[in-house]
Chain A
C-alpha cells in the first residue's frame, strides 16, 4: 500500500513540475510559430529565444508586471507587461518597412520611452566590419573625430567632448574626454546595443549632457544551462590589424554568467597613395564578465571590465614652432610587419588602463521597481613623449551611486531618483596639464510619462548641485542648476508626431578651469580660465514619421541654443615651443539642422532594402557670426542591402553597399581650414558556408578615394595644406564560430 502511495506521490510531483515550466508562444498572423524570436525580459536583463514551433520556456520567477520586449527581424516589435496569470501567447504582425534605429516605436530603453524622448538605438555585434565608433556614426547626425581606427570619439549634431556623455551599463565613463585625442575608452566587446539621445533630454543620467548621451549596454544574460558562446577573428589590411575575441554565456538555476575577452593589434595605416601614417598604430586588450543572481523579487548583478589600450599619436612633430614640417617626419614609405606592431620606442603614445566595477540591484514589488546602482571606474592615462618616463601619468577615479524608483499607475509611469558622483583627479608626474582636483555632484530628478491609445506626454525636472575643489589654486566653487524636459507624442493613422523641449546645463570641467601645460597629443599649450561659469543649453526637436507597407520616412528638424558656451581658442603667443590655447566663453551659440531618413522596399523584391539618411547641421557663434570649430560637414548616407535568405544563391547570405557623400564644409571658425567634398563607398558580403560559422568579407573605401573628413584630427597639419587623408582601399575579413 505504501509503495502505491509513494508512487502516486512521485507521479503527481513530476506532473506538477512538468507543468510549472510554463511555455509561451510567439506566432505570426496565420498562427504559425515564429522561430528564433528574441523574448527579452528587460527588467531583469535576460533573454530567451523561441524554438522552431514558436514556443519558448518562460524562466521561473519573472516579476509580475515587468517589461518584456519581443523582437524578430521582419515583424513589428512589441512590449508587454508580464502577467503571471495569463497565457503568454503573442502574435507578431509582419513588417516590410523597418526604419531601423530611428523610428518612434515601442521598445524598452534605459534612457526613456522612445515615443516621448528623442532616443535612437543601434544594434552592436561582434561581426561588424567597422569599429564601434564608425558603426554608431551610421546614424544620421552622428560623426566622429579621430585619426585612423586607434583614436576615435563621437560627435553628436556638432557637439563632442564634455558635452556628449557616455554611460556604460549605467556607469558614467570619465576618461579625460575633454580632449580630442582621448578616445572612447572601450570596444564593442560584449555589447549588444547603444542608445543615443541627441541633445539635452537625458534627465535620469545627468544634466551635463548638453550635446547628447550615449548609453552602451552589455548583451543580456541567457536562460540556458547549455554553455553557449563564440570565437571570432577579424583582419583589416589598411591597418594590418587583427583582432580575436571570444564570449560565453552560461546559466544554472537562477545564476547567470557572461564572460568576454579581446585582443586587437594594428600597425600604421595605409593612405591611398600607399604611404603609411607613422605612429597611427594601436593595441587593445579587454576582458569583462558579469554575473547575476535573482529570486522572484530581487536581482543582483555584478560586472567587471578591464580595457588596456596603447595608442600611437600620429602626425606629431618634436618642435611645432618650426613651421612647416617635412612629410617624411610623419609618413613612411613602407612598413615592416615584423617591427611595426611595436609601440615600445615610438613616441608620443598614450597608455590607457580602465577598470570598471558595477553592482546593480533591482527589487520588484507590485507595480514598482526599485533600482540601486553603484559604480567605480578607474581611468589611468599615461602620455609618453620620452621613451623611458611619461610626460603625464594621471588617475581619474569616479564613484557613482544611483537610486531609482519606477512606479506604474494605470497609464502613468513615474521615475524618481537621485544620483551622486565623486571624481578625483590625481597626477603622478612633476609636470602636469590639469592639476589634482575633486568634484562632487548630487542630483535629484523626477520624470512623469503618460501614454494612452495614440497620445502621450512626458515631463521631467532635475536639480544638480556640483562642487569643485582644487587645492593647488585655492579654488572651491559650487555650481547648481535646474534641467528640464517636456515631450509630446501623437499618432494619427500612419502618421506619428513627436515634439520635445529640453534644457540642460554643464558646469566647467577641471581641465577648462585649470589647464596649464603642454598637451602633447594636440601640440598646444593649454591655459584654463578660473572665471568660467555654467553653460546652458535649450533644444527643440520635432520628429515626424510616416510609413506604408513599402515606404517609410522620418523627418527630424532641431534647434538648439547654448548660452555661455565654453570653447578653446588659439592666442598669439608661444610657451615651451607650443602655441597657446586659452579657454573662453561665448555669450550664445546656435545649432540648427535637419535629419531625414528614407526606407524603400519594393513590392516586387522583398529582400531588397534601400535606406537613405540626410543630415544637415549649421552652427553659429552669435558673438562673431562665425561657425563653431569642428562643425561636421553635411552628409547623405545610402545603404542598399540585398538578402538572399528567401532566394538562396549559392553560399551568399547578403550583400550590403554603403555610400557616403560628404558635402564640402566652408562654415569654419576663425582658425580652421575648410574641407572638400568626397564620396566613400564600402561593401560587405556575408556568406553562409556552414551553419555555425558567420563569414563576412568587406571592402572599405572601394574606389581608394583620397579624402580628409572635416573632423579629422590630422586635417590641419602645418606644411600639409590638404591634410592627411584617411585610409585608402582596404579589405577586411570577419569570421565567427558560434556554439
Chain B
C-alpha cells in the first residue's frame, strides 16, 4: 500500500509540472522589410498580457519613426503578420516571463 501511495504521489507530481504562467511579458519587434528583401527586426518594446495579445492579433500603430542602424523605420500601422514577439535562434537569453 505504501508503494502504491508513493507511485500515486509521483503521478500527481508529474502532472503538476505543467507551467501555468499567467503573467507574460515579452519583447516584440516589427519585421521591417528592406528593399533588398532582408528582414530588419526593429524593437518596439516589451508587451504584457492583454497588450501582448492585442498587438499579436491586431497589429501595432508606430507613432514615431525609429532609427535602426542606417535605416529609418517610418511611423505608421504595421499589421499583425509583421509583428513578432516569439524568440529566434539568435536570442539573448534575457527574456523575462
Whether A329 sits at the interface, judged by CB under 8 Å, is yes
A to B contact number (C-beta, < 8 Å): 95
| Given A322-B39, A346-B87, A250:B4 Cβ within 8 A | yes
User: Chain B nearest CB: distance from A395 CB in Å?
Assistant: 19
Instruction: Give the residue of B57, B80, B81, B89 whose beta carbon is less than 8 angstroms from that of A331.
Output: B89
- The stretch among B8-16, B60-68, B71-79 that forms the contact with chain A is B8-16
B-contact bits for A576-601, CB 8 A (1 contact / 0 none): 01000000000000000000000000
Bound complex: CA of A525 vs CA of B90, how far in Å?
27
Pairwise interchain contact A322-B17, C-beta atoms closer than 8 A: no
Provide the bound-state CA to CA distance between A262 and B7, in Å.
Answer: 11
Q: Do A319 and B4 have beta carbons less than 8 Å apart?
A: no
Q: In the complex, what residues of A have CB within 8 A of residue B80's CB?
A: 386
Which of the residues B11, B38, B90 comes within 8 Å of A259, measured between beta carbons? B11
How far is B87's CA from A328's CA once the two chains are assembled, in angstroms? Answer: 12
Task: Indicate whether A359 reaches chain B with its CB closer than 8 angstroms.
Answer: no
B97 to chain A: which residues have CB within 8 Å?
342, 344-345
Q: Across the two chains, which residue of chain B brings its CB closest to A286?
A: B14
A227 to B4, Cβ gap below 8 A?
A: yes
Whether the pair B89, A279 counts as a contact (CB closer than 8 A) is yes
B7: chain A residues within 8 A (beta carbon): 229, 246, 248, 259, 261
> Is the C-beta of A278 less than 8 angstroms from some C-beta in chain B?
yes
Chain A residues, CB < 8 A from B31: 318-319
Interface residues on B, range: 20 to 34
Q: Which residues in chain A, 234-290, are within 8 Å of chain B measured between CB atoms?
A: 244, 246, 248, 250, 259, 261-263, 278-279, 285, 287
A334 to B37, CA, bound (A): 28
User: Do B90 and A332 have beta carbons less than 8 Å apart?
Assistant: yes
The interface residues of chain B lying within 8 Å CB-to-CB of A577 are 81
Q: Are B89 and A278 closer than 8 Å at their CB atoms?
A: yes
Asked if A389 is at the interface (CB within 8 A of a chain B CB), the reply is: yes
**Which of the listed residues A261, A332, A347, A386 has the most CB atoms from chain B within 10 Å of its own CB?**
A386
Q: Which of B37, B56, B90 contacts A388 (CB 8 A)?
A: B56
Residues from chain B with a CB closer than 8 A to the CB of A229 are 3, 7
B88 & A287 in contact (Cβ 8 Å cutoff): no
Residues on the B chain within 8 Å of A279, using CB:
89
A339 near B93 (CB under 8 angstroms)? yes
Q: Are A323 and B37 in contact (CB under 8 A)?
A: yes
B4 CB contacts on chain A under 8 angstroms:
227, 248, 250
Bound complex: CA A336 to CA B18 (Å): 20
A261-B10 contact, Cβ under 8 Å, with A227-B3, A227-B4, A345-B86: yes
Q: At the interface, yes or no: A387 with Cβ under 8 Å from chain B?
A: yes
Residue pair A389, B39 in contact (C-beta under 8 Å): no
| Interface check A657, CB cutoff 8 A | no
Whether a CB of chain B sits under 8 angstroms from the CB of A739 is yes
A330 at the interface (CB under 8 A from B): yes
Docked Cα-Cα span, A589 to B31, in Å, equals: 44
Which residues of A have CB within 8 Å of B89?
278-279, 328-332
Most buried by B among A263, A308, A323: A263
- Evaluate contact between A287 and B93: CB separation under 8 angstroms: no
Contacts of A262 in B (CB 8 A): 14
Residue in A closest to B88 when the chains form the complex, CB atoms: A329
Annotate B39-74 by CB proximity to A: 1 below 8 A, 0 otherwise. Answer: 100000000000011001100000000000000000
Residues on the B chain within 8 Å of A385, using CB: 86
Write the chain B residue with the least CB distance to A277: B89
CA distance A342 to B18 in the complex (A): 11
Option from A248, A261, A344, A345 in Cβ contact (under 8 Å) with B3: A248
Q: How far is the CA of A530 from the CA of B53 in the complex (A)?
A: 36
Closest CB of chain B to A71's CB: distance in Å? 28
Q: Is the pair A285, B15 in contact by a Cβ cutoff of 8 Å?
A: yes
- Residues in B82-96 with C-beta less than 8 Å from chain A: 84-91, 93, 95
How many Å lie between the Cα of A396 and that of B39 in the bound state? 37
Specify the chain B residue showing the minimal Cβ separation from A248: B7
Pair B90/A387 contact, Cβ less than 8 Å: no
Nearest-Cβ distance from residue B34 to partner chain A, whole angstroms: 11
- The 28 listed contacts between A and B (C-beta, < 8 Å) are A227-B3, A229-B7, A244-B14, A248-B3, A250-B4, A262-B14, A263-B14, A263-B17, A285-B14, A287-B15, A318-B39, A318-B84, A323-B37, A328-B89, A328-B90, A329-B89, A332-B89, A339-B93, A345-B26, A345-B85, A345-B86, A347-B86, A347-B87, A387-B26, A387-B52, A387-B86, A388-B56, A577-B81
Binding site for B on A (CB under 8 A): 227, 229, 244, 246, 248, 250, 259, 261-263, 278-279, 285, 287, 308, 318-319, 322-323, 328-332, 336, 339, 342, 344-348, 385-389, 577, 739
Given contacts A261-B14, A386-B56, A389-B53, list 9 more A-B pairs with CB under 8 A: A246-B10, A250-B4, A278-B88, A278-B89, A322-B39, A345-B87, A387-B52, A387-B85, A388-B52
